[in-house]
Amino acid sequence: MRALVQRVTRAQVEVAGAAVGQCGPGLMILVCAMQGDTKAEAEALAAKIHKLRIFRDAGGKMNLSLRDTGGAALVVSQFTLAADTKSGNRPGFSGAAPPEAGERLYEHFARALAGLGVSVETGRFGAEMAVHLVNDGPVTIWLDTAS
């Protein structure tokens, strides 16, 4: 699975102009299930993100995790993280999991993160969404369970 994690002061996702998910201080997590991914990868990615030390401690050093800060998470599916741009100018997305598997793994990831004690809200799988966020830092981290 792939994820793009952004430390945020706030984030919100809208579908057709209506807010469907939001979070205050914490993480905006864009998630993509790849071909062959399993629930184990979703759980491992959730655990990694939960413990990722990207929040400032009292000394200003990135030394605290979501677990330490009690921050929230907004999880949004984004199959375009599977983009293959090696040839030509049009990205290919054949590396992404099929929609049914992608949705199952996206939802499993969100449940796994919530199971670790994180307040989690989500976007709507497969919908056209508008994402609003204030990136704190900015801090943006790319994670891939395959590497």
Rounded Cα–Cα distance for residues 103 and 85 (Å): 24
How many helices, marked H, and strands, marked E, lie in the chain? 3, 8
Whole-prediction pTM: 0.96
Digit-coded pLDDT (tens) for 116-126: 999 999 999 99
Whole-number Cα distances in Å, 83 to 9, 86, 100, 105: 28, 9, 18, 18
Active-site residue, from 80, 93, 109, 140? 80
Q: Active-site residue 78, yes or no?
A: yes
Active-site residue, from 6, 12, 55, 79? 79
Task: Please give the backbone phi and psi of residue 88, each rounded to the nearest 5 degrees, phi first.
Answer: 75, -170
Q: Active-site residue 79, yes or no?
A: yes
CATH class for the region spanning 2-144: alpha beta
Active-site residue, from 78, 109, 125, 145? 78
The 8-class DSSP code of residue 78 comes to: -
Q: Return per-residue pLDDT of the chain as tens, 147 residues.
A: 999 999 999 999 999 999 999 999 999 999 999 999 999 999 999 999 999 999 999 999 999 999 999 999 999 999 999 999 999 999 999 999 999 999 999 999 999 999 999 999 999 999 999 999 999 999 999 999 997
Digit-coded pLDDT (tens) for 54-68: 999 999 999 999 999
